[in-house]
């Protein structure tokens, strides 16, 4: 077996993760979730549009799916895809800031550390109210 071949057991685990998580996260594949995480991180690197500021945590659902799916995958699938996930997680951390823990705001649940971070850069109209805990305020892309 060469370094990239997956077995029927590997593919069955990916399908099983997709099926077991579809009720909670909607139907998505491992490839789709990793691709959506990549696109989310790229958007954050460019600046998160303040028009969608209150939808920010919804953008992180693809990472929630990956978090829930990872233990359901075979060690081989995790090994093959871990470097990709690590790279996008690293870039996410670089594109975000740690959220100030404000009263009444839950911390990232179940090890979901990405919910405890907010965009470093924003775009769009100025003057939008920012969510509690986004302090210091993100830099507006026009101010770079």
CA distances from 64 to 25, 112, 124, 125, 135 (A): 8, 7, 26, 29, 24
Provide the residue-wise pLDDT of the chain in tens; the chain has 144 residues.
345 689 999 999 999 999 999 999 988 999 999 999 999 999 999 999 999 988 999 999 999 999 999 999 999 999 999 999 999 999 999 999 998 765 455 555 677 999 999 999 999 888 888 888 888 888 888 776
Q: Is the pTM of this model over 0.75?
A: yes
Using the structure block, give the residue that is written with the tokens 């579809």.
22
């Amino acid at each position: 077996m060469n370094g990239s071949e997956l077995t029927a057991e590997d593919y069955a685990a990916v399908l099983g993760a997709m099926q077991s998580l579809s009720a909670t996260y909607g139907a998505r594949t491992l490839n789709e979730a990793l691709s959506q995480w990549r696109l989310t991180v790229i958007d954050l690197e460019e600046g998160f549009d303040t028009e969608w500021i209150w939808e920010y945590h919804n953008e992180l659902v693809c990472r929630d799916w990956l978090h829930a799916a990872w233990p359901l995958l075979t060690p081989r699938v995790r090994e093959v895809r871990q470097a990709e996930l690590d790279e996008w997680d690293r870039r996410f951390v670089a594109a975000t800031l740690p959220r100030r823990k404000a009263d009444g705001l839950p911390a990232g649940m179940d090890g979901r550390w990405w919910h405890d971070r907010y965009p470093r850069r924003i775009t769009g109209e100025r003057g939008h109210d920012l969510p509690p805990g986004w302090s210091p305020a993100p830099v507006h892309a026009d101010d770079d």
